[in-house]
Amino acid sequence: MFAVTAAAADRHDPLAGLRLGEHPTPDPPPGWELVTVRAAALNHHDLWTLRGVGIDPARLPIVLGCDAAGVTSTGREVVVHAVIADPDGIDETLSGAFSILSERHDGTFAEQVAVPARNLVDKPAVLSFEEAACLPVAWLTAYRMLFTRARLTPGKRVLVQGAGGGVATAAILLARAGGLHVTVTSRDADKLERARQLGAHVTVAAGERLPQRVDAVMETVGEATWSHSLRALEPGGVVVVSGATSGPNPPADLARVFFRQLEVVGSTMGTKQELVDLVRLLEATGVRPPIDEVFALSDAPRAFNRMLQGELFGKLVLRP
* E-assigned strand segments in the chain: 2-6, 18-22, 32-41, 62-63, 69-72, 77-80, 83-84, 99-100, 112-116, 120-122, 157-160, 181-186, 202-205, 214-219, 233-241, 263-266, 291-296, 315-319
Region(s) of the chain under CATH 3.90.180.10: 2-134+289-319
Q: CA triplet 220, 226, 232: central angle to 5 degrees?
A: 105
pTM: 0.95
Q: Which pLDDT does position 87 carry in this prediction? A: 64
The pLDDT of residue 202: 98
Torsion sign (Cα): 245, 219, 262, 256: positive
In sequence order, the 6+-apart residues with CB closer than 8 A to the CB of 235 are: 260, 261, 262
Establish how many alpha carbons lie within 13 A of residue 99's alpha carbon, considering only the half-sphere containing its beta carbon: 15
- Contact, 45 vs 307, CB < 8 A? no
Per-residue pLDDT at 312 = 77
The number of beta carbons lying within 10 Å of the beta carbon of residue 293 is 12
Closest CA to 17 of 300, 311, 306: 300
Q: What is the pLDDT of residue 89?
A: 59
Question: Is CATH 3.90.180.10 correct for 2-134+289-319?
Answer: yes
* CATH code, residues 139-266: 3.40.50.720
| Mean confidence (pLDDT) of the chain | 95
Location of each CATH 3.40.50.720 domain in the chain: 139-266
pLDDT at 164: 82
Query: What pLDDT, on a 0 to 100 scale, did the predictor assign at position 88?
Result: 59
Cα(79)–Cα(77) distance, rounded to whole angstroms?
Answer: 7
Question: What's the pLDDT tens digit per position in 67-83?
Answer: 999 999 999 999 999 99
Q: How many CB atoms lie within 10 A of CB 112?
A: 22
Give, for all 320 residues of the chain, the pLDDT tens digit: 999 999 999 999 999 999 999 999 999 999 999 999 999 999 999 999 999 998 999 999 999 999 999 999 999 999 999 999 876 557 999 988 899 999 999 999 999 999 999 999 999 999 999 999 999 999 999 999 999 999 999 999 999 999 988 899 999 999 999 999 999 999 999 999 999 999 999 999 999 999 999 999 999 999 999 999 999 999 999 999 998 888 889 999 999 999 999 999 999 999 999 999 999 999 999 999 999 999 999 999 999 999 998 877 789 999 99
